[in-house]
Structure 1
């Protein structure tokens, strides 16, 4: 599709598209429009950075009529607070020339303020599953008016353990509704979820799971341990001109804090970190500063960076090798967006070699291996997880078989509890009545 004019959009949406500078729809936007407009259930599979938000909001806004009703008609579920804020901002841009009302609700903030906001009325509700479920239980949000449900980044939601909330929310929604789901990968969990709740959905896919984006150059370094990885990272990031805006992925919050501490000594205000233990204001400020290029290095976990609109990223550095190959695809998709060039670097240890090979098998390509930089020192310092585990000879900690007791029980403790005189004598004498409530049965038997 060469132009948005082929979609027969309203004047208000055309004005918005002109303001945003969009020239033609991306593949996922072009393929999704007619399916969503038809009212059929849809499953969209597309890599990060392909314009998924506009892909589902464009037909929804085209079809959404003016209304003064309080309860929402469209619900968008996303996995994180950051994504709620981002999607709300995007919808506000898309609906600039219309009267659409949009509201975002998420955890970590005052729930009473959100209840008040809901009661003022909205057309589109963007929410995280946890806080949404809380507001549904408190009867603040009524779901009877929902006509369209969008679940974005559903694979992340399932990974985060939101299946319980999602299931309960879906069961409370009106039966007659349109389901729209977007995911970067089609995992087994996602497939089961679709078959449980969707009715003959149309699948729209613009990139096979595991297909790397063509404009991303991929490289790898074989590194012995965590602190040597940190040395390699420091060596690379010293080149400010080359690594002008770098996203560094780590496996967990503990690694994020440790790496941030190491980088902070060298780069100070140039580096920031976000993960789920940071306050909401700190996380928002870190993302804003990174987008504004006030900081050029952002250390983050998979959950925090998934789906966030982080523009103009020059490099994605995988400080660890993801156990699930699909996560590698999510990470490198943060760079090389649209027609821009991007670079992805993977640091892997001997223990992570198998995971690296699984990634290469999924993509069908071999990541270019680079020689270890001669200027970088190989550290002998090990993290707790990397240190060899010491097992005491006389006090083994991993004993699979339990030996016999120290001594046999005394004879008096080996007796079987026979249940007292009732069980031994009375019950045996009178037996059980043949029918319930037959009070005369035992009397008749006794009389015989």
Structure 2
């Protein structure tokens, strides 16, 4: 196995790697180093948790010369704010002994503060597409000096609907630049983007996206409904020594909130939750507290946890079975990182068994099925989504558990049951109140005075 010393790193980079305690590069880091340094366009396909950030940053920092320029030379695009913070942190670790200026920009914070930071001069910008485009349109950020463009987690970016912003950003960049793209999956959208914007790219592919990682033990349970899943989860989490750092994945934000409330009732402040409806400060705090071990359990949606790197996650719990099989690979890749052993547990209802079969076909691996522990109560309580259609309201956004539909029709009250009687109705009113039809009807008033 090769070491970092064989990669022809600069002394400053080697010192930083030594400080981090790393000895051997991962396969994607080793394969990418010389190709990225060559200046050619690069497409890297590797599973999450294999060190993609270092794979593109090591060669970039190796050849990034010190220049007193105001405008950035390296642009790194990532899909979420959390990933911006993480990539900036990784770059700062690597650039510990290098004079390089790094700035992360993302939405949800004051854009004027970011404009001021850019105006002071930066070498590397790490950004989400939306905020970067806003800054570029303001003319504070000049993109014509960009020499290297990195698009990280590009498949997630396209899933989140960032294609339009990416195309606009490409128009603002210089034609002569190096394109570096890293993704966990190769989809048709990703392939189209490579065809349209990359020039004869060199492809680096490490492991098929459906191949299960050897150091992750996978298990599964067949569970009848949501609240039985909750009971099973409570049973597992009671073993705090074994389940020391647990990342729980759900598909929807409403499910995340509902599950978090159920866990919080039993385990209190041991749990936290993260999804895109939470405020920026709340999300950052949840990530930090989970990473530092202050919270033992983190409930997350797929998009929010994609690409985040947590140390020593003991278990990944797939509370629901993802309908896209490759999402399962991204989920379980949160544990067993850096060649450490991890454990993944999959919960599946009867409706989700078809999804489970699809991901087993993708991996060419049958996930071992465990019997439900006797202590776990089979719940008869159903969520609104689990009730038969005739028993539940149609909106998928409701999270009420005890919603009982009432009659849709009721009789009008007596005062609201009048109908339009036209002219005769107005005559009846005139007789009753002895008033002119209008205040301005002089002839009517004269007739009444004569009487």
Question: Which residue of 1 is the match for residue 99 of structure 2?
Answer: 99
1:274-325 Cα deviation digits (max 9, x unpaired): 1111111111111111111111100000111111111100000001111110
Question: Which residue of 1 is the match for residue 368 of structure 2?
Answer: 368
Q: CA RMSD in A?
A: 1.3
CA distance in 1, matches of 2:172, 2:310: 34
State the Cα distance separating 1:171 from its structure 2 match: 2.0
What does 1:379-394 correspond to in 2, within 5 Å? 379-390=379-390
Question: Which residue of 2 is the match for residue 227 of structure 1?
Answer: 227
What does 1:322-337 correspond to in 2, within 5 Å? 322-337=322-337
Unaligned stretches of 5+ residues in structure 2: 393-407, 409-451
State the Cα distance separating 1:383 from its structure 2 match: 1.1
Question: Which residue of 2 is the match for residue 445 of structure 1?
Answer: none
CA distance in 1, matches of 2:268, 2:42: 46
Question: Which residue of 2 is the match for residue 155 of structure 1?
Answer: 155
* Structure 2 SS opposite 1:171: helix
Spell out structure 1 runs of 4+ moving beyond 4 A: none
The answer to whether residue 72 in structure 2 is matched with residue 72 in structure 1 is: yes
1:136-162 Cα deviation digits (max 9, x unpaired): 111121111000000000011011000
What does 1:260-271 correspond to in 2, within 5 Å? 260-271=260-271
TM-score, normalized by length of structure 1? Answer: 0.86
What does 1:46-445 correspond to in 2, within 5 Å? 46-390=46-390
1:393-430 Cα deviation digits (max 9, x unpaired): xxxx9xxxxxxxxxxxxxxxxxxxxxxxxxxxxxxxxx
State the Cα distance separating 1:69 from its structure 2 match: 0.8
State the Cα distance separating 1:118 from its structure 2 match: 0.8
The answer to whether residue 30 in structure 2 is matched with residue 30 in structure 1 is: yes
1:214-236 Cα deviation digits (max 9, x unpaired): 01011111111111111111111
* Structure 2 SS opposite 1:85: helix
CA distance in 1, matches of 2:323, 2:179: 31
CA distance in 1, matches of 2:158, 2:204: 20
* Structure 1 SS opposite 2:298: strand
Mean alpha-carbon deviation: is it higher for 332-341 or for 1-10? 1-10
* Structure 2 SS opposite 1:385: helix
Q: Across the two proteins, how many residue pairs are aligned to each other?
A: 393
CA distance in 2, matches of 1:309, 1:41: 26
State the Cα distance separating 1:391 from its structure 2 match: 8.5
CA distance in 2, matches of 1:29, 1:288: 26
CA distance in 1, matches of 2:224, 2:191: 38
CA distance in 1, matches of 2:233, 2:207: 31
The answer to whether residue 41 in structure 2 is matched with residue 41 in structure 1 is: yes
Question: Which residue of 2 is the match for residue 446 of structure 1?
Answer: none
Question: Which residue of 2 is the match for residue 20 of structure 1?
Answer: 20
